[in-house]
Structures are given as structure tokens and as C-alpha cells.
Amino acid sequence: MDAQTSEPQAAVTRRYERLSPIYDWITQPMEWMGGSSRRQRLLSGASGAVLEVGAGTGASLPHFPAGSAPVLLDIAEGMLARARRRAVRHGMAVDLVRGDIHQLPFADDTFDATVATCVFCSVADPKGGLAELARVTRPEGRVLLLEHVRPRNKVLGKLADWLTPLTRRLCGPAINRPTEANARAAGLQLVQVRREGVWREIAARPH
């Protein structure tokens, strides 16, 4: 397991199961402050056979291109139940799969695009999860990531390090992840990176 997060995924999963009834309420301020527009911009590049991992309550569903029928994977059943209802409201045909990002239940080179939005702040082994995305994405496909990362400012970076044990315990995410570097270490070729404060919109290809 990655040295950044010596915590079993089961503990993280329990937190998200517990938070699933109020998760949309908790994350709504983040959506208002640019999360929704970032999702829309990122997901405009998702076409063909698409997998979204860590799909949560389905917040990304309204932002997929028209006619999309993505596969949504999450480890928390409570999250998937809410994603199912959201898909019905939007009239979208989706395939909902309960699974662990560390061991995706799909064959190599299955998808044209794989998507994760605000996921790799939470998974127990981020490099392992990113490597799994690379594995199931076709060589000519795209891995699309929207993530917040450790601030580059030295003071803010140290503050994020200090606060992360608290945010991890209370609500799941680590706020000091170097996701850009993790993606490269996992074997992804970063094609385009949009940087805005702590936010990263990443388009990558598997090597």
C-alpha cells in the first residue's frame, strides 16, 4: 500500500457509507464554487465506452455528453443507491457496479475513457488505483481526472499535511495528495493538465 495512506480501504468505505445520506449536502458548496463547471469541462472529453470510478451519488451524470451510457462504479452501496435515483431523474441508462478501485472487475483495455472526479483524495492506495485505471483503458483511450491536490505554497502545504489526519478521520479525503505525481508514477502519460489553485483537471493516456 502507498506510504502516503497506511489505512485499509475498508475504513474509508465505512465513512462513505455513513455519509451517503448527506453527501450531496456536504459537497454542494464545492459544486457551487466551480466544481460543476470543472466536471462539465472534463467530461466533454468522455466518449465511447466510459467508466466512472468512485462515482458516488452520480454528481457527474448531468455533465456527460448527450447519449452517454456510462458504467458507474463505487465501493459504497449507499452512494450507488442515490446514483441510481439520479440517473432515473435524468433519464440516463447507466450500469451501476459495486467494486473496489484497487481491483477493478473489468478486463484489460475495456473502456475508451475512464473518469474519476474527487476520488484519489480518498482511496487507500492512490497509485494502485490509478494503475488500475490505466489497465482497463484502451491504449488510444483517455483517463480523465478532476482532483484537488496538496497546495504548492509551503505554508499552505504544511497546513494541509497537518489537517489531513482530521479530514481523513471525519469525512474521508486526504487534502495533501500529490495526485499529478501519483498519476505519472502509476504509468499514465499526462497529455493536458489545467491547474487552478489546488485543482487539477488532467487528461492522460495509459503508456
> From residue 131, how far is each of 11, 30, 102, 114, 206 by CA, in Å?
22, 27, 9, 12, 9
Confidence at residue 171, expressed as pLDDT on a 0 to 100 scale: 65
Return the SS3 of 66: coil
Give the residue from 19, 16, 4 showing the smallest Cα distance to 164: 4
Cα–Cα distance measured from residue 101 to residue 189, given in angstroms and rounded to the nearest whole number: 19
Confidence at residue 3, expressed as pLDDT on a 0 to 100 scale: 39
Q: Is the pLDDT of residue 93 over 90?
A: no
Return the SS3 of 36: helix
Does the predicted model carry a pTM greater than 0.85? yes
- Position 27 confidence tier, pLDDT thresholds 50, 70, 90: confident
C-alpha cell at 30: 464545492
Give the residue from 54, 191, 27, 34 showing the smallest Cα distance to 114: 54
Domains of the chain: 9-206 (3.40.50.150)
115 - beta bridge partners?
52, 144
Return the SS3 of 82: helix
- Position 2 confidence tier, pLDDT thresholds 50, 70, 90: very low
